[in-house]
A = this chain, B = another copy of it.
Amino acid sequence: MRIGELSRDTGVAVPTIKYYVREGLLPAGRLTSPNQASYDDIHVRRLRLIRGLLDVGGLSVSVVREVLAAVDSPDEPVHKVLGAAQHAITPVTAARPEGLEEARRAVAELLERRGWHVEPDHPSAEVLAVALATFRGIGQGAFEEVLDDYASACERIAAADMAYVGRNAEVDGLVEGVVIGTVLGDVVLSSMRRLAHVDRSARTYGEGAQEASGEPDTPWAP
């Protein structure tokens, strides 16, 4: 197909498609004449992946470039490709709030308590420690009371994610599936958590709430 059709099929404007090609996110089309290139289904799927990672996942162009470079390394073993892709999409925080050392110990204790096989210096453990130190710094250190509820929920989600990958991924789409599952899974989880807050708030405080409640009038969500 020509670039105009690719644009219509994906809803991505022609200059944007050309920008992605220049930035190395999208392979160039096959030249059919000096001024014309031909595109196929691989481009359609890749464009949707790019838009998902950028617009929905909120990744930057440079991170998407790094992820796709990993996805496109056919000669590397799957382990290595996945590692590189996961590394690219794992947020790294430069924040160093007060109390970070103590928060790191709390994270190490959590990993120990849950029996999770994770190195305590994993980048996501550091992000978690920074978040906990921030809670403490503004007088909300009691948030740690709910950490094990979060951990139980994450164990359930991780089990479902792994089973999904095992069931559905063909080798071809495997890395793509894991990348999009990690990035968009965060979006799914964050939006669902807000919807669940709305629901609980409506049940607890809304009109027609079943139980008379002695709790303060503190809906979590509008």
Contact = CB atoms under 8 A, between A and B. Distances in A.
A131 to B, nearest CB: 5
A160 B146 contact: yes
Contacts of A189: 150, 153-154, 186, 189-190, 193
A180 B122 CA distance: 24
B222 A87 contact: yes
Interface residues of A, number: 107
Interface stretch (A16-24, A27-35, A170-178): A170-178
Interface of A: 10-11, 45, 48-49, 51-52, 55-56, 78-79, 82-83, 86-87, 90-91, 93-98, 111, 114, 116-118, 122, 124-125, 127-128, 130-132, 134-135, 137-140, 142-143, 145-147, 149-169, 171, 173-174, 176-178, 180-182, 184-204, 206, 215-222
